Structures are given as C-alpha cells and as structure tokens.
Homo-oligomer: A and B are copies of this chain.
Amino acid sequence: MSNVKDPSLAATGRVKMSWARENMPVLARIAKRFAAEKAFKGHRIGMCLHLEAKTAVLAEDFLRSGAERVAITGSNPLSTQDDVAAALAETGVHVFAWRGVTPKDHASNIERVLDIGPDMLIDDGAELSIAAHQRGKAFVRNVIGACEETTTGVTRLKAMESEGKLDFPVIAVNDALTKYLFDSRYGTGQSGLEGVMRATNLLIAGRNIVIAGYGWVGRGVAERARGLGARVIVTEVNPVRALEALMEGYDVMPMDEAAKIGGLFITATGNIDIITARHMMKMPDKAILCNVGHFTVEVNVKDLEKIAVRKRQVRSEVTEYVLPGRKRLYLLSEGRLVNLAAADGHPAEVMDMSFADQMLSADYVKRNSKRLPHKVLKVPDEIDVQVAEERLSAFGRKIDRLTPSQEKYQRSWHG
C-alpha cells in the first residue's frame, strides 16, 4: 500500500533512521510513554511532512503508539529521501513519496493519504488540511483536529478561519516557543548555510549575503551567515524588524539597492516575488540565488527562465543561467528549500523539540477534541515547558527555580 521509488534502498534508510532516533531523546521519552499506553489506539493519522529520517521516526512512533493507520507523503518535491521512504514503508506506515515528484503526482499523493480516512492530520504548509476541506463537509467531520508545522501553513489556516471556512481545530505547533524559537531560527539557520556550502563549495567569508525577510528564519540565517564571516544585508517590509536588524549590526536597504551588491541572495519571507527579473538584471556577475522559505515562490524562477539566454547544470544543485551580456546567475536547487534539497534539513536536536511538540499536541487534540473550537489554537504552555525542560536535561543542563519568596515578590506590587 506504499508507493516509493525503490524498496531496495531500505537498508541505508534504516541506518539513517537509527541515527536520527538516537539523537532525538526528548521525542523518544514521550514516544516510549505513549507506546506503553497505546495512546493513539483507534486513530488514523495522515501526515504531510518533509520526508527524511527524523520525520520517519515520528511517523513510526505514531504507529508504535497504537495508531490504527499512519499514512504519509512528502511536502516538497526535492526533500524526500528515497532510502528513508523505503525504510519507513517497511515499518507498516503507508508511504506515498519520492524525490522529484511532479506537482500532479504530489497532489495525487495527498489524496492517497486522505484515502485512509484520517481523523488526525500532521501537516506542513496546510496542504492536507486544505485538501481535506476540499473533499467537503462529510469528510472533514471525521477529522478531530490537525497540527500544523510551519509559519506558512498557520498563516493560510488563519486566513481560512477568518473567512469562517475552518471546520476542525488546528494546533499551531509552529507557534510553540520550543518550535519556532528553535526550529526556524537555529534549524534553518544552520541547515540553510550548510545547504549553500554543500551546493557550491564556495567561501561564505567576505561575501555580501542578502537575506530577504527578518522573521525567525531570516534572523537565524543572518546570524549563521555572519558567524561564517559574511557581510549581511537584510531587506524587510516591517520597520520594527528592519530596525532590529540594523541594531544587530546588519546592513538594511531595499532589495533594489541590495541587488546591485549581493553575492548570495537567500529568501526567507513566506511571500512571492521577492526576487524578480528587475532585481536579477541589477545583480553582479556570478551572484547566487536560493530560498529557505516554505514555498518555491520567493525567487521568481519563471522570470529567470525568461530573461536567460541559456542555462546548464554546473554542480548537482547549481543551475547556471546566462543573461544577455554574458552575466551568469546561479540558482540553487531550483529555488526550493535549499536546506532540504541540498542538505539533510534541520539538525536532529531541533526536530527532536518540534516533533515532541507535534506528538504532545496530537495527544492534546485527542484528549480534548470535543472541547476545542474550530480555530487555529496555540500550543498549551505546559507542552512548551515540558519540552524545554526535557531538552535541557538531554543537553545535561540544570537551571534555577524560583524560591517561594521570589514567587511572592513577582506577584506583589507593594514597594
């Protein structure tokens, strides 16, 4: 009942999963408890996530925790690792994913996941949730709730909510402190730069790096780019964020100015048309373009295709576009998430937290399904505290506790 590229790749996939599992101790502790309780007994879980080793561990953990069925597809054509998909399929999870899936096949895979009739969705970019709504009221009625992993997905689901079109509760896992403060910032920060280095083997130090967007992803990428010796330029539309970037020592200017001097452009806005033909025309020779935002819409690849006189693959994740006048621009991983396409995605420790949030949020949905409104809801504070404490403990760290007199002082207002 799975559809993967090549089942014979399972052996290397299993080794990857084993490594990921070893390095996600917080999730492991929670999953162990849930497995003992058969916490998801009787539930059918549909998942749409970047399908690499850490995700596979989460999917298998749902199965081990008693779920009746677990089905999964990838959330990006280039982020699926075929060996991991093969290994996961062997565990009994239904896998519909392969690297390089076409948009049409991707849509079809989403439907295959929904075909198991999931009552819970673990989603990335709101793809499953939206497709489920498109199947109509009857279908959606069986869904007790969803957990959404990304900023982009949360934004879309809130738009649905505000139009009165959201028909089940969604936990905005993305908005858990232990998710967005770490995953977006430290996860994408590290893996985004790793992706660029792997794709290009070029020096980060001394390079002008233009980062579009100074949200959590943008600031993570900016910090790591500077940590590797780059001179960072930030573009923003929000004046408070722009000021913060300036205070952190980054240069701040509009993209039309930055385009003239950038050596590497990284988009992290969640919006469209951040880099268009107008900007590309202004860039210096050999400028590199890539994206760490969720959808492949930030660098306008169509524009690039249109203005280029020829293109060729110059490294496995680098396409060279030659513009009139012989200027060369390099596009990484076709404008897709470079940290997933050219590297292995977030480090295990950050996914350990994000997926612990996912699993605890799914459990929360399950236990409270009757009471939850059909809204985008925040992750309960206790989940954040629990995940943070266990992660600190996994790092071997202890912290202080408030004394009773300090707690009392904090509540008081007398001089």
Contacts and interface: CB of A to CB of B under 8 A. Distances in A.
Interface of A: 15-16, 18-20, 22-23, 53, 126-127, 130, 155-157, 159-160, 163, 177-178, 181-182, 185-187, 189-191, 194, 197-198, 201-206, 223-224, 226-231, 235-237, 239-240, 242-244, 246-255, 257, 270-273, 284, 286, 297, 313-315, 318, 343-345, 347-350, 384-385, 388-389, 391-392, 395-403, 405-406, 409-415
Given A15-B313, A194-B198, 18 more contacts: A22-B314, A126-B413, A156-B412, A181-B244, A182-B244, A201-B344, A202-B349, A205-B249, A206-B246, A206-B349, A229-B247, A229-B248, A231-B250, A237-B401, A239-B385, A239-B388, A242-B399, A255-B400
Given A392-B242, A403-B273, A182 B410 contact: no
Contact of A314 (B19, B182, B231, B395): B19
Contacts of A348: 201-203
Contact of A399 (B236, B388, B409): B236
Contacts of A272: 405-406, 409
Given A253-B398, A343-B198, A314 B15 contact: yes
Contacts of A395: 206, 243, 246
- Within the oligomer, what is the number of copies of this chain? 4
A181 B238 CA distance: 14
Contacts of A240: 177-178, 181, 384-385, 388
Contacts of A19: 201, 314-315, 318
A349 B400 contact: no
Contacts of A350: 203
